[in-house]
Amino acid sequence: MDFEDTPAEAAFRAEARAFLDANAERRKPGSVEGYRRGQDAPGAMERAKDYQRRKYEAGFVGIHWPVEWGGRGGTQIQNVIYNQEEAKYDVLSSIFGIGINLAMPTICTWGTQEQRDTFLHRTMRAEIVWCQLFSEPGGGSDLAALRTRAEKDGDDWVINGQKIWNSGAHYSDFGILVARSNPDVAKHAGLSFFILDMKAPGVEIRPIRQVSGSSHFNEVFFTNVRIPDHRRVGPEGAGWKVALTTLMNERHGMRDAPGPDVTELFRLAQEVELEDGPAIDNAAVQEKLAEFYTRSQGLKYTKFRGMTALSRGQTPGPESSIIKVVAANKLQDILSYGLDLIGMAAATMGETMPVGGIFEEALLYSPALRLAGGTDEIMKNIIAERVLGLPQDPRADKGIAFRDIPTGTRR
Amino acid sequence: MNFDFSEELIQLRDQARRFLADRCPPAVPRRILEGPEPFAAELWQAIAEMGWTGAAIPEAYGGVGLGRLAVCVLAEELGRAVAPVPFASSVYLATEAILLFGSEDQKQAWLPKLAAGEIIGTLAMAERPGTSDPRKLTASVAGGRLTGTKLAVPDGDVADFAVVAVHGGNGPWLHLVDLHDATVGRETVPTIDPTRSHARISFTSAPVDPLPGATEPESVRKLLDYAAVPMAFEQVGGAQAALDMANAYAKERFAFGRPIGSFQAIKHKLADMYIQLELARSNAWYGAWAVHTDAAELPIAAAVARIAACEAGWFCTKENIQTHGGMGFTWQMDCHLHYRRAKLLGLALGGAREWKQRLVAELRTRNTLGLQAA
Handedness of CA B193, B195, B200, B203 (dihedral sign): negative
- List CB contacts of B87: < 8 A, sequence separation 6 or more: B44, B47, B52, B53, B74, B75, B78
Q: What pLDDT score does A250 carry?
A: 73
ipTM of predicted complex:
0.96
Q: What pLDDT score does A104 carry?
A: 96
Q: What pLDDT score does A34 carry?
A: 47
Q: What pLDDT score does A372 carry?
A: 85
pLDDT digits (tens, 9 = 90+) for A243-254: 999 988 776 555
Contact, A242 vs A185, CB < 8 A?
no
Query: CA dihedral in degrees (A336, A338, A344, A347; nearest 10)?
Result: -60
Q: What pLDDT score does B66 carry?
A: 95
pLDDT digits (tens, 9 = 90+) for A313-369: 888 888 988 999 999 999 999 999 999 999 999 998 888 888 888 899 899 889 988
> How far A360 CA sits from the closest chain B CA (Å)?
22
Q: What pLDDT score does B373 carry?
A: 44
Q: What pLDDT score does B226 carry?
A: 98
Closest residue to B270, CB basis, from A3, A270, A390:
A390
pLDDT digits (tens, 9 = 90+) for A3-48: 889 999 999 999 999 999 999 999 876 555 445 555 667 788 999 9
Contacts B248 to A, Cβ<8 Å: none
Contacts B268 to A, Cβ<8 Å: 377, 380-381, 384
Contacts A262 to B, Cβ<8 Å: 369
pLDDT digits (tens, 9 = 90+) for A254-302: 567 788 999 999 999 999 999 999 999 999 999 999 999 999 999 999 9
Q: B359 — contact with chain A (CB < 8 Å)?
A: yes
Q: B285 — contact with chain A (CB < 8 Å)?
A: yes
CA A390 – CA B197 distance, rounded (Å): 37
**Long-range contacts of the stretch A108-111 (C-beta < 8 A, 24+):** A108/A65, A108/A69, A109/A245, A110/A193, A110/A233, A110/A234, A110/A238, A110/A242, A110/A245, A111/A233, A111/A234
Closest residue to B258, CB basis, from A77, A381, A394:
A394
pLDDT digits (tens, 9 = 90+) for B231-281: 999 999 999 999 999 999 999 999 999 999 999 999 999 999 999 999 999
Q: What pLDDT score does A31 carry?
A: 58
pLDDT digits (tens, 9 = 90+) for A150-174: 999 999 999 999 999 999 999 999 9
Q: Which positions of A are annotated as active-site residues? A: 250
Does residue A106 register a pLDDT over 60? Answer: yes
pLDDT digits (tens, 9 = 90+) for B295-353: 999 999 999 999 999 999 999 999 999 999 999 999 999 999 999 999 999 999 999 99
Contact, B181 vs B190, CB < 8 A?
no
Q: Which of B275, B276, B306, B371 is the best substitution to test chain A (most A C-beta atoms within 10 A)?
A: B275
Closest residue to B283, CB basis, from A298, A326, A387:
A298
Q: What pLDDT score does B316 carry?
A: 98
Percent of chain A with pLDDT over 90: 70
Closest residue to A294, CB basis, from B258, B308, B353:
B308
DSSP run (H or E) holding B210: strand B209-210
Ranges of chain B with pLDDT below 70: 370-374
CA B173 – CA A290 distance, rounded (Å): 28
Angstrom distances, CA of residue A137 to CA of A161, A166, A409, B7, B255: 10, 12, 7, 50, 33
Contacts B278 to A, Cβ<8 Å: 298, 302, 319, 322
CA A343 – CA B117 distance, rounded (Å): 58
Q: How many CB pairs under 8 A join A and B?
A: 168
> How far B287 CA sits from the closest chain A CA (Å)?
11
CA B231 – CA B239 distance, rounded (Å): 12
Contact A298 B285 (CB under 8 A): no
Q: What pLDDT score does A33 carry?
A: 47
Contact A297 B268 (CB under 8 A): no
Q: What pLDDT score does A88 carry?
A: 87
> How far B258 CA sits from the closest chain A CA (Å)?
9
Question: Interior CA angle at B183 toward B180 and B185, to 5°?
Answer: 70
Closest residue to A266, CB basis, from B2, B285, B371:
B371
Beta strands in A9-154 (DSSP E): 130-133, 149-153
- Nearest residue to A211 (alpha-carbon basis) of A344, A332, A334, A292: A332
Contacts A5 to B, Cβ<8 Å: 1
> How far B280 CA sits from the closest chain A CA (Å)?
7
Closest residue in chain A to residue B272, using alpha carbons only: A380
Closest residue in chain B to residue A392, using alpha carbons only: B262
Q: B267 — contact with chain A (CB < 8 Å)?
A: yes
Q: B266 — contact with chain A (CB < 8 Å)?
A: yes
Q: Which of A1, A254, A310 is the best substitution to test chain B (most B C-beta atoms within 10 A)?
A: A1
Contact A322 B6 (CB under 8 A): no
Contact, A52 vs A125, CB < 8 A?
yes
Q: What pLDDT score does A172 carry?
A: 96
